[in-house]
Amino acid sequence: MGRVVLVWRLVARDLRRRRAEALLLLLVITAATATLTLGLALNGVTSNPYQQTRAATRGPDVVASYLNLGQPKGELRIGLADLNGLARARGVTGHAGPYPVAWAVLRAHGIKAGVLAEGRDLAPAPLDQPKLTEGSWVRPGAVVVERSFANALGLQAGDRITLNGRRFLVAGVAVTAANPPYPFATFVMQGGPFFTSDTGLLWLTRADARSLATAALPLSYITNLKLADPGAAPAFASIHNNNSPAFLTPWQAISVEDGRLVATVQRVLLVGTWLLGLLAVASVAVLVGGRMSDQTRRVGLLKAIGGTPKLVAAVLLAENFLVALAASAAGLVIGWLAAPLLTSPGSGLVGTPGPPSLTVATIAWVAGVALAVAAAATLVPAIRAARTSTVRALADAARTPRRHARLIAASARLPVPLLLGLRLAARRPRRALLSAASIAITVTTIVAVVTVHAHQLEQGYTGFSALNNPRTDRVNQVLLVLTVMLVVLAAVNVVFITMATALDARHSAALTRALGATPRQVSAGLSAAVLLPALAGGLVGIPAGIGLVTAVSHGGTTTIPPAWWLIAAILGTLLAVAGLTAIPAGIGTRQPAAEILQSETA
């Protein structure tokens, strides 16, 4: 029999005998690869909807805005003259405007929100004519609301609203490519003098827009420009921004802002992939380590019949590599099928994003990550098993516990469960480290989610009443899914760590019971061996979660959650770990101590 055929038969037989462990290993790596596939598949999926919206609305190449902060009339005339001069600049082939823009307070359905009200003509504009998705165009006393803003407010054609206390009819709902959708409609205006976030957009007649202006919030102005070369819009805007009181925004920048709904989700998914990947490494290492504790005699038999250390290592690596490849294939399929659920550009655009990209590079990345996870978790146990002597492996005797004089002295006065837990954790420091790492990753995610919600809550109490923010809602949904996945993987990890600890400590636990400890004390000691690293991991996860949000926000403000939220996260994690370890720890003490001690010398 050839070496390859032998390895294949041993791998296939081992997978058939341990189907539950193989399935769990498959699920762990599939979760990480599916998340990675989702993140990679979202590249560039929003460009198509924006281009379709731009074509449907005759979108401008550059939007020039003059922000009036109550300047003297002379400066205002200079600003308007500059907007008119831009229409005659070199490279400009068409323009529309200037249009007056008023900043108003909108009230509808008991909700108050800031709004950018742009005055328009009754006739269609040559540039940026918003595409109606419902109702009709503006007329005196009637407005058209940008669609994502209308959805957030629950508005539709025929509803009534007030602007600065004046009543208006909602004539229709429309989309535009000249301004990002809610809640960032002030993007092209460099931020309003009062409304800096959660600001919507609507259109109304020029006369109605002028009637909304006040001394504190005077009219600003917008002009839409068409260039001979749309691709030169960024350079055109950069040149004139240095020499003009107006602010110019190229269509490419608006496209990027429109795509942030999906781009933010992609960033969250890629961060989640790293967290899931790290947790998968810990989970696979625990599974492999626990399997090695149960397969020591099998390794000895392979060596006794002529198997070399390389063959033993190859069998263990091939088994997990095979599962990793199957998991990467499953993750690619799941991620590709799930991607359309996250590629919706939102109600601010029309058109469809097209199918998600699944390139050769994406497949290579996903397969490489799966194999890397399997290799990182399997390499050390495989090398250790290969180096184990044949006689020792065949004997499969209990490992001699490590003796730490200071640890023994420190734990001697502790209650029996804590004494046993501390000594069991000290016997396997690498396993304790894996346990602490998996809990730290999970708590990091939980604290990050709590920090994000604390920031959203704080933002909701500043300025206007919080509305349904499309970007926030989508991110919250993705965070919830990632958190559930991480918690489930961490729970599986905790159960297997407890089972591996109980299996490894069966002889010492039996001896402890023979010396007078009760099964309940031994069971509690096994739980404590997992709880102690979990406590350390939970404490590390608090600053790590806050730091993760700070890093992902790219310099944005980070809201520190209330202390009792963080304490509740730690206590909840410890209670969950205690509950998960209770059953496997109890099962580990069911076998009579005499049977265990008679099987081998402890």
Residue whose C-alpha is closest to residue 559's, from 540, 573, 545: 545
Q: Domain boundary at 206, 226, 258, which?
A: 258
Q: What pLDDT does 188 receive?
A: 43
For residue 357, pLDDT over 70 is answered with: no
Cα 571–chain centre separation: 24
Query: Which distant-in-sequence residues (6+ apart) come within 8 Å of 403 by Cβ?
Result: none
More confident residue, 600 or 169: 169
Q: Domain boundary at 396, 418, 435, which?
A: 396
Q: Domain boundary at 208, 234, 258, which?
A: 258
Domain identity same for 70 and 9: no
Q: What pLDDT does 288 receive?
A: 64
* Percent of all residues in the chain with a pLDDT value above 90, rounded to a whole number: 10
Q: What pLDDT does 199 receive?
A: 77
Mean pLDDT of 21-36: 78
The tens digit of pLDDT for each residue in 247-292 reads: 888 988 888 777 666 666 667 777 777 777 777 777 767 666 655 5
For residue 45, pLDDT over 60 is answered with: no
Q: How many domains does the chain have?
A: 3
For residue 564, pLDDT over 80 is answered with: yes
Answering whether pTM is above 0.75, one says: no
> Among 129-133, 276-280, 559-563, which stretch is predicted with the lowest mean pLDDT?
276-280
Average pLDDT, the chain: 77
Domain identity same for 467 and 549: yes
Domain identity same for 145 and 224: yes
The tens digit of pLDDT for each residue in 462-512 reads: 434 445 566 666 677 777 777 777 787 777 777 777 777 776 677 777 777
The tens digit of pLDDT for each residue in 165-210 reads: 899 999 999 988 888 877 766 544 444 334 445 678 899 999 999 9
Tokens of 394: 């065949």
More confident residue, 478 or 54: 54
Burial of 158 (0-12, 13-18, 19+ CB in 10 A): exposed
CA–CA separation, 197 and 505 (whole Å): 58
Domain identity same for 209 and 294: no
CA–CA separation, 394 and 387 (whole Å): 13
Tokens of 325: 């490849």
Q: How confident is the model at residue 297 (pLDDT cuts 50, 70, 90)?
A: low
Domain identity same for 204 and 116: yes
Output the CA torsion sign for 560, 562, 564, 565: negative
Domain identity same for 246 and 305: no
Domain identity same for 350 and 467: no
Domain identity same for 85 and 190: yes
Domain containing 303 equals 1-46+259-396
CA–CA separation, 269 and 271 (whole Å): 5
Q: Which residues pair with 222 in a beta bridge?
A: 65, 99
Tokens of 258: 């429109």
CA–CA separation, 66 and 257 (whole Å): 20
Which H or E run contains 341?
none
> Residues for the chain: how many in total?
602
Count of helices and strands (H, E) across the chain: 21, 10
Domain identity same for 356 and 418: no
